[in-house]
Structures are given as structure tokens and as C-alpha cells.
């Protein structure tokens, strides 16, 4: 790929190369992969309906009239040019010397159609481009070439003020025209190209950058979409094959062991779905190569008990299991709930403990020195069959006697390095189970977790109560009062109430949410595109809301607690314990309770400024109520208005408790790179054209082709171009998004 790795200054000149570098384009290959974002019809003018203020745009428009006049500065004149899309008008305003503007006025004669590029501003109620760049197709000296050019689709590239789309197009043509097939290694095997009648990579690049017709660029894009899916799926297939080629200690189930004793003491019957997943895990743990499985399920679908049965099978087979949780609150709760479920089976060696039981040990960063030392010893000696912890488990001084299974809860909160650091503590490759309560649409699971087998729990176990959800206008006094009256009624009946706020204190500029929703309001004229304007009123803060509720007449005599991420672990634990016991039945909190917190008596949740949270986060929060016999009521307060993305999210949240349906809405609304986790890696997603939501058929076809090739050639020795594409497009830094949800 020597021709494609050439630095751009040698090909397009220093000035253009410098402007391209600001767009992240450093080499010829980068430039060829900078695809047009849309195509224009030379015979069709751009619709001016949607030209957002602050956006850099290129429009195909007709000149209607011009007006050249003087300004207060005798050396400067102003030329106003009005262009039209045949229905609406747009003002182009140029400043400069009178002589220069007179020449420009002559160029911009009425009736001429051209491309105009600039940043949209607003002046006197009119949309305007100031000092825009422009180009006329009929500027071609060759009349025949001009006619041919006017009949071809116009590629519009992601551009900048310093580099209009036609200059990018010119640079692309400079690089593309001299290339031969040998210069552009194709990662897609020739037999696949033949079978699908696909163009080669070089042909596809020519079709998207220099299309002669709409059919050309569509055919080129389809081939490039397949290539993106194929390279990604091959990388996942290689990773999966490597895992299957790695030796692991088989952990078969054992009759008469702890797992069997635990199943006998379960006070409920596993759902059909749970039984099927347990059987899958049991069979894979008994194999001499590592299990690699993703377990996803609805909030409250019983993933923990399924994971516990897998952990006990490993303990029965002489191994240990480590459960990695993202927060100390969740780790401590897992330790409590698992210990309680096991009962005497978790008290091996203790008075009253089961003779053939095991021990459950908690290890977190904030533990006192003596307790931490005891936990480290229990893990290293093998006394603890189940070790539960946070990032503290990854420390160098944490050792295991026989680590056989790693369970990662809410795995999207951990990077690949953290997961591997824990797996590296085993003498042989441990089995791996990653869990998420955020439902993942099938296409995303195929794209992000293609190296894992996926199990899904959709059934909610018997005993879980229904949850009703209501949207409430936060500026409507009657709704506000009724909310707190409902809270008091539930408290008097023995219930608990969560009140969730996006901020911790009234002084905070930021908010404590993981997936803050974008504002639906447009930026102000002088604000950068995408900037979030200050809200009309301050967002709800834990300290302010707690103070208000303590003074509210309806809640007189009711204790109100607070919980947020800045509290010490001891204070968090105390706040949760007081809430769970009922001593403090109202808990004003941030999203620190989003995952895993289990208080069966909690029956009401009030989410303040609900439009500031992502849809999956809202679903996770709602899952904290209705976990016992009490039906749940979730009230989402908002000031957002109809016909906005935020209200679309909230209406979906109100209408269903199906997490998979909500995940689909989430995927439709959010940028694909964010869904794939690329935003977390700090680099752009390698997916330029592939759309996970709509390209299901392409992804499935690529997955099948990739697995067939890897089955025959795991090291890709016979496919050097494919191996090179994986290395370049999915190097470790960029491939990190593959290990996130």
C-alpha cells in the first residue's frame, strides 16, 4: 500500500494538505476513505428548508439578483447576492474592495446555477452566508466536459470553511486517477467478490467518488458497507477462534455438590429461560477451552442467580469464581445477596455452616486494612470460592489459588485491559461470563459481541410486580403536589420512595449522569454548533430537593436521606441501609442507584428533569422499584415539549417496560459511534458507511463469510490484505470499542 500511505503534501500541495489534516486526513488512503456524505443532482437545486444556523453547508442554487453598494469605510464595499431554490431565498454577502466585488458581481450573473459554501448566519430575520466560496459547473473551458459534468451526481464531502467540498473532490481525484488495482489491496477475497458480483475495492472507490449515475454510487457504497462489516466480523471471528484454541480447565458439574444443594434450597422455580441458560453455561464450563458468553436480560430477569449457579459449578470442580462489579455499592450488595441466598452453604468452616460449603469474600478499595488483609488471604488460599469486588480485584497484590471463572457485571463499564488483567490472574485461561442489564438489539450484539455466544433472558420471574410510568409536567403545581401525596401514601403503607436528580448540589455546573441527553434547543447565534444553551431553570440537585422535601407539609415527620457519588463508601452504605430498613423511607439520589440496588419495599420513583437522561438509563433507574410484592409507580418530571427528540424518548419510556424495544428506540436516536462505544475510546469509529440498525442482512452475510474463512485459515496467512485491513482499521486503540456495549 505504498501509494496509499504517501503523505498528502507530495500529492496535493502543502496548503490543501494542511487543511485536510485538520479534518484528520493525513495520507492518500485517509483521503480515499473520506467518503461523500451525500450526492446532489446537478439539475435539482438544494432545498433551503433546513439550513441550521451555525452549520457549514454547501448548496446548489440559482442566482436571482445582485446589489453592490458602498459602506462607511471608503475602501470597502458590500455585495449582496440573492440565490434561490425556486421557492425560498438565501442571502450571500461579500465584503471587499469595489474593484474586486465588481468582478465578482459580473461572475454572479442572474440565472447562473452554482455551488455556494459557507457557514449559515442569521441577520435581520434572514439566513445568510458571509463571504462564501462558490463554483460554477459551466466554468469548464471544454464545453463537452462541462456538459458531461452537469449530468453527473455531485459528491458533497464533509468539509470545512477552509476547504470547500469541491477542493476536497479535486484532491480525491488527484490521488484516485493514477491508481491501479495492484496499488489497492482488497481485503474481500476474490471468490466472495465473484459470488456477489461485487466491484473490486478500487472500482468501488471510483464509483463513490466519481459516479456517472445514482446507480454507480449506490453500488459502490453497498460494496464498501459489506467490506466494513466483513473486516469487523473477521476480527471477531479470529478472536473467537483464538479463545477456542486456548486450553482451559474443564469445570463439569458434580453430583451432590454445593450447586445441587443450593438448587434444593431455592424458594422459587427458575423460569424456562433461566433453565435453558443454566444448561448452556453448564455444558460450556465442562469443555476444555474457555467459555465466552454474554448474558443479557431485562431488569429483574434473574441474571444473578443464573451466574451464581455457574460459579457454584466451578467451585464444585475445585476452582474459584471472581465477580467484578463497577461500584462498591453494587459489589457490597452482590456480596450480601449471594451470601443470603447461599445461607449455611456460604459459611464453610464456621459454626453452623454446611460441611461441604464455601466462603464468599468481598474485596473493595475502601476496606479497612485488617479486613482487606483477610480478604486477600481468603482469595489466595482458596478458602473463598467466590470473591466479589470492584476494580480492587485488579490490583497486583490480589492473587487466587485456582481462578476458574470470571463474571463481569455491567461489563460496558470496564475496558478490555481491566477484564484481561483479572483473567491474567489464572494459571490457565479462565471461563468468562459477561452480563448486562441494558438490552442490546441483535444487530448490535452481532457487531460488538461477535466473539461471544449470547444468551438472553426475557422472562420476568414470578413475584415481580408491574410498574406504571407517567410523564408529569414539572411546572404544573397540581401534578407536583399529587406526586408528593402519592409518596406519602406509599410511605404510610410501608413503601420506600426514590427521588432521582441529575445534579448533586446547586453549585454544580455538570451533572452526575453517564448518558446525558443532548439538549433539543437550538444553539444561540454566537454559540458553536452543538453547544448546549443554559437551561431556562436550574436542573434539580440532590441537596436542594432533599431540603425542600424535609420542609414539605405533606411529608412532615418523614426522614429524607441523600445518596450520591461524592460520599464516602461508608456513608453510601449507611444511607442505603437506612433506606432499606425503612428508618429513612425517602432517598434523594443521583444515578448511583442505577444498577443493581435491590430494595424490595421500594415502590415509587420520581425522576426529576427526566429529559436529561438517556433512555437506557431511565429504564435502569425504573428497574429499582417493583422488585417485591408492591406494584411500582414511576413519575418522570419534565419541562420538555412535544415533537422533540427528548419527548420522543420519554413517550417511549412511558409506553413500555420492554427494554429491548427501548434499546431499539435508543439505537435509532443516537449516533452509531456512541452505540458501538467508539466515543469512549477517544477515536472515531472505523464504521463509516455501515449502519448497524439498517444493514442487518449485510452484517449477517459478512459474519457467515468471515467465520468460514477463519475456520479454514485462523491466522489469515492466505489473506494478507484482510489481515492488513484488520491491523490498520482495528488496531488495539481503536478496537477497544469492540469490548464495550
What are the cell numbers at 242?
A: 483464538
Looking at the structure, do residues 410 and 293 belong to the same domain, yes or no? yes
Residue 401 neighbours by CB distance under 10 Å: 16
Same domain, 264 and 206: no
728: cell is 490498520
CB atoms within 10 A of CB 292: 19
pLDDT computed for residue 205 by the predictor: 97
593 belongs to a structural domain: yes
- Sequence-distant (6+) residues with CB within 8 A of 375 are 361, 362, 363, 367, 384, 387
Domain-embedded: residue 338: yes
CB atoms near residue 245 (< 10 Å): 10
Cα dihedral: 163, 202, 448, 457 (round 10) = 120
* Domain identity same for 176 and 189: no
What lies within 8 Å, CB to CB, of 419 at 6+ separation is 324, 406, 408, 411, 432, 434, 739
623/644 same-domain check:
yes
606 to each of 300, 479, 624, how far by Cα in Å?
19, 12, 11
In this structure, what C-alpha cell is assigned to residue 487? 409518596
- 294 and 405 in a common domain: yes
- Which pLDDT value is given to residue 377? 95
Whether 33 and 47 share a structural domain: no
**Rounded CA separation 62/82 (Å):** 9
Cell of 206: 471510483
Domain end marker among 457, 477, 496: 457
Helix 165-176 and helix 14-21: axis angle, to 10°? Answer: 110
Is 158 inside a domain boundary? Answer: no
Going by C-alpha positions, the residue among 137, 177, 173, 134 that lies closest to residue 154 is 137
CA distances from 555 to 77, 345, 491, 542, 626 (A): 69, 43, 9, 17, 22
User: What's the CATH number where 344 sits?
Assistant: 3.40.50.300
Q: Is residue 160 part of a domain?
A: no
Residue pair 439/466 in contact by the 8 Å Cβ criterion? no
- 232 lies in some domain: yes
Q: Which three cell numbers stand for residue 159?
A: 468539509
The bridge status of strand 113-123 relative to strand 126-130 is antiparallel
The SS3 of residue 72 is coil
Q: How far is CA 410 from CA 17, 88, 325, 331, 593, in A?
A: 44, 51, 7, 11, 13
Whether 324 and 439 map to the same domain: the answer is yes
In a domain, 663, yes or no: no
Distance (Å, rounded) from C-alpha 480 to C-alpha 284?
52
Same domain? 180 vs 191: no
Report pTM: 0.70
* Average pLDDT per block of 10 residues along the chain, 741 residues long: 79 90 90 90 77 82 91 87 90 90 89 86 87 74 53 83 85 93 94 94 96 94 94 88 87 93 89 94 95 83 91 95 87 89 84 76 90 93 93 84 90 56 77 82 68 81 79 89 94 95 77 37 31 57 94 94 88 90 95 76 94 87 86 93 86 88 76 43 58 84 93 92 83 43 28
Same domain, yes or no, for 63 and 176? Answer: no
Same domain, 174 and 140: no
Cell readout for 142 is 471544454
pLDDT at position 137 is 64
Distances (CA, A) of 164 to 134, 141, 444, 553: 9, 21, 35, 63
Report d(CA 403, CA 400) in Å as an integer: 6
The residue among 457, 478, 496 that closes a domain is: 457
Residue 179 sits in the same domain as residue 191: no
C-alpha cell at 418: 481491566
CATH code, domain carrying 118 = 2.40.50.140
DSSP assignment of 548-612: HHHH-GGGTT--EEEE-TTS-HHHHHHHHHHHHHTSS-EEEE-GGGSSS---TTEEEEEETTGGG
The answer to whether 137 touches 77, Cβ cutoff 8 Å, is no
Q: Hey, how many other C-beta atoms are within 10 angstroms of the C-beta on 273?
A: 20
Residue 508 has what pLDDT?
61
- Which pLDDT score, from 0 to 100, does residue 93 have? 92
**728: containing domain:** 185-245+673-679+695-741
For the chain, the first-to-last Cα distance in angstroms comes to 33
Domain contains 161: no
Which residue is listed with cell 433507574? 621
Query: Same domain for 439 and 582?
Result: no
pLDDT at 579: 94
Q: Please count the structural domains in the chain.
A: 5
How buried is 111 (Cβ within 10 angstroms: 0-12 exposed, 13-18 middle, 19+ buried)? exposed
Partners of residue 605 on adjacent β-strands = 498, 634
* Nearest partner of 454 among 466, 474, 440, judged by Cα: 440
Confirm whether 251 is domain-assigned.
no
Amino acid at each position: 500500500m505504498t501509494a496509499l500511505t504517501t503523505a498528502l503534501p507530495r500529492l496535493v500541495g502543502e496548503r490543501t494538505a494542511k487543511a485536510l489534516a485538520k479534518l484528520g486526513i493525513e495520507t492518500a488512503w485517509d483521503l480515499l476513505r473520506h467518503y461523500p456524505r451525500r450526492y446532489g443532482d446537478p439539475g435539482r437545486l438544494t432545498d433551503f428548508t433546513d439550513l441550521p444556523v451555525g452549520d457549514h453547508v454547501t448548496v446548489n442554487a440559482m442566482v436571482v439578483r445582485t446589489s453592490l453598494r458602498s459602506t462607511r469605510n471608503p475602501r470597502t464595499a458590500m455585495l449582496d447576492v440573492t440565490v434561490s431554490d425556486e421557492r425560498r431565498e438565501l442571502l450571500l454577502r461579500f465584503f471587499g474592495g469595489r474593484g474586486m466585488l465588481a468582478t465578482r458581481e459580473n461572475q454572479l450573473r442572474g440565472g447562473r446555477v452554482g455551488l455556494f459554501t459557507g457557514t449559515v448566519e442569521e441577520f435581520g430575520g434572514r439566513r445568510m452566508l458571509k463571504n462564501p466560496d462558490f463554483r460554477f459547473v459551466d466554468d469548464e473551458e471544454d464545453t463537452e466536459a462541462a456538459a458531461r459534468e452537469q449530468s453527473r451526481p455531485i459528491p458533497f464531502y464533509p468539509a470545512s470553511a477552509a476547504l470547500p467540498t469541491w477542493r476536497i473532490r479535486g484532491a480525491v481525484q488527484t490521488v484516485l486517477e493514477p491508481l491501479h488495482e495492484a496499488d489497492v489491496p482488497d481485503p474481500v477475497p476474490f471468490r466472495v467478490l465473484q459470488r456477489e458480483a461485487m466491484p473490486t475495492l478500487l472500482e468501488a472507490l471510483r464509483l463513490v467518488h466519481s459516479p456517472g449515475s445514482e446507480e454507480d454510487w449506490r453500488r459502490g457504497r453497498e460494496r464498501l458497507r459489506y467490506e466494513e462489516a466483513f473486516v469487523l466480523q473477521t476480527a471477531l471471528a479470529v478472536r473467537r477462534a483464538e479463545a477456542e484454541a486456548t486450553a482451559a480447565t474443564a469445570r463439569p458439574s458434580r453430583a451432590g455438590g454445593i450447586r445441587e444443594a443450593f438448587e434444593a434450597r431455592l424458594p422459587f422455580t427458575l423460569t424456562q429461560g433461566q433453565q435453558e441458560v443454566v444448561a448452556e453455561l453448564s455444558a460450556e464450563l465442562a469443555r476444555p477451552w474457555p467459555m465466552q458468553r454474554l448474558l443479557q436480560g431485562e431488569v429483574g430477569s434473574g441474571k444473578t442467580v443464573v451466574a451464581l449457579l455457574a460459579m457454584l459449578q466451578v467451585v464444585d470442580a475445585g476452582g474459584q469464581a471472581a465477580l467484578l462489579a463497577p461500584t462498591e455499592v453494587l459489589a457490597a450488595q452482590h456480596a450480601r445477596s449471594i451470601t443470603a441466598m447461599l445461607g449455611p452453604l456460604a459459611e464453610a468452616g464456621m459454626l453452623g455452616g454446611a460441611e461441604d460449603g464455601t466462603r464468599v469474600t468481598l474485596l473493595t478499595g475502601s476496606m479497612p486494612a485488617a479486613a482487606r488483609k483477610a480478604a486477600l488471604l481468603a482469595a489466595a488460599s482458596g478458602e473463598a470460592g467466590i470473591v466479589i469486588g470492584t476494580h480492587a480485584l485488579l490490583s497486583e497484590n490480589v492473587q487466587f489459588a485456582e481462578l476458574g471463572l470470571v463474571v463481569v457485571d455491567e461489563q460496558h463499564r470496564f475496558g478490555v485491559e481491566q477484564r484481561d488483567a483479572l483473567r491474567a490472574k489464572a494459571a490457565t485461561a479462565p471461563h468468562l461470563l459477561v452480563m448486562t442489564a441494558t438490552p442490546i438489539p441483535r444487530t448490535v450484539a452481532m457487531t460488538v459481541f461477535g466473539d461471544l455466544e449470547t444468551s438472553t433472558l426475557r422472562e420476568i420471574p414470578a413475584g415481580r410486580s408491574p410498574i406504571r410510568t407517567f410523564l408529569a409536567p414539572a411546572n404544573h403545581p397540581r401534578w407536583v403536589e399529587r406526586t408528593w401525596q402519592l409518596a406519602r401514601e406509599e410511605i404510610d403503607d410501608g413503601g420506600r420512595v426514590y427521588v432521582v436528580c441529575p445534579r448533586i448540589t446547586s453549585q454544580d455546573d455538570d451533572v452526575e449522569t453517564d448518558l446525558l441527553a443532548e439538549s433539543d434547543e437550538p444553539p444561540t447565534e454566537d454559540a458553536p454548533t452543538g453547544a448546549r444553551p443554559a437551561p431556562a431553570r436550574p436542573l434539580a440537585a440532590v441537596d436542594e430537593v432533599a431540603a425542600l422535601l424535609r420542609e414539605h407539609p405533606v411529608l412532615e415527620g418523614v426522614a429524607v436521606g441523600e445518596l450520591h457519588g461524592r460520599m464516602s463508601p461508608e456513608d453510601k452504605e449507611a444511607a442505603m441501609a437506612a433506606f432499606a430498613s425503612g428508618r429513612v423511607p425517602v432517598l434523594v439520589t443521583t444515578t448511583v442507584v442505577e444498577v443493581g440496588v435491590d430494595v424490595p419495599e421500594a415502590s415509587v420513583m420520581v425522576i426529576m428533569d427526566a429529559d436529561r437522561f438517556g433512555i437506557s438509563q431511565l429504564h435502569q433507574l425504573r428497574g429499582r422499584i417493583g422488585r417485591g410484592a408492591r406494584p411500582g409507580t414511576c413519575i418522570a418530571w419534565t419541562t420538555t415539549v412535544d415533537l422533540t427528540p427528548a419527548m420522543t424518548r420519554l413517550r417511549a419510556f412511558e409506553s413500555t417496560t420492554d427494554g429491548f424495544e427501548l434499546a431499539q428506540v435508543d439505537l435509532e436516536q443516537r449516533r452509531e459511534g456512541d452505540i458501538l462505544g467508539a466515543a469512549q475510546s477517544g477515536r472515531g469509529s472505523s464504521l463509516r458507511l455501515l449502519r448497524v440498525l439498517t444493514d442487518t442482512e449485510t452484517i449477517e452475510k459478512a459474519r457467515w463469510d468471515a467465520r468460514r474463512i477463519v475456520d479454514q485459515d485462523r491466522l489469515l496467512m492466505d489473506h494478507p490484505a484482510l489481515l492488513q485491513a484488520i491491523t490498520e482499521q482495528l488496531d488495539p486503540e481503536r478496537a477497544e470499542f469492540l469490548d464495550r456495549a
